[in-house]
Amino acid sequence: MARPRSEDKRNAILAAATRVIAAQGLGAPTALIAQEAGVSNGSLFTYFKTKTDLFNDLYLELKSGMASSAVDGLPARASLHRQLFHTWSNWMRWGSEHPERRRALTLLGVCDEITPQSRAAGHTVMAGLAELMERCRAHGSMRNVSMPFFASIMTSVADATIDHMIQDPGQAEQHCKVGFDVLWRAIA
């Protein structure tokens, strides 16, 4: 009879995969991920049938974590500006406090092994943030650009902001505010 799966082991594998992918990229061997997690390579494949399955589960785990952090405590009745600043601040904090997660998510985001189903599920977990972004786009100077283009601009400003928050933690709050001000002026 098969031994029941442990949620702790699964979480250890996902955490190890995050660290290893962030350090070595998507080509990192599963044996290294298993070693980092403190499990055998065979145990890794008990939890994830293939490396592709591991990548897809990790992608959704990281995407969900980022999305829930971004909208945590969102002031629903506040102005659009205040809601976006709140979400922006949470997103910047998540990215600067979890650089390995951010890097792994970025790599997985361009990975061909992430299935259309996982990408769709990733969009679903980002629905709250996407709805806020759509309201900003629809009511601002970028109302005539596509949502993917709008999202790319926002992500580019976010990446630059997070990079500077990590490089200069003493000024992280200021970088967050300046990044938001730049974004707001571009989209308002």
Domains and CATH numbers, the chain: 1-49 (1.10.10.60), 50-187 (1.10.357.10)
Pair 119, 58: CB distance under 8 Å: no
- Judge contact between 62 and 105, C-beta under 8 A: yes
**Does the structure show a pLDDT above 70 at 3?**
no
pLDDT for res 5 = 77
Average pLDDT over residues 15-32: 98
Six-digit token pair at 52?
């592709």
Q: Which of 126, 130, 156, 152 is nearest to 65 (CA)?
A: 126
Query: What's the angle, vertex CA 86, arms to CA 85 and CA 92, rounded to 5?
Result: 85
Radius of gyration of the chain (CA): 18
| Structure confidence at residue 108 (pLDDT) | 98
Q: Give the pLDDT confidence score for residue 1 in this predicted structure.
A: 46
Reported as a single tens digit per residue, the pLDDT across 103-142 is 999 999 999 999 999 999 999 999 989 999 999 999 999 9
What is the structure's pLDDT at 53?
98
Yes or no: say if 131 and 61 are a contact pair by the CB < 8 Å rule: no
Q: Please tell me the distance from the alpha carbon of residue 39 to that of residue 122, in angstroms, as a whole number.
A: 28
> Is the Cβ–Cβ distance between 139 and 80 less than 8 Å?
yes
Share of the chain above pLDDT 70, in %: 98
Q: What is the pTM of this model?
A: 0.92
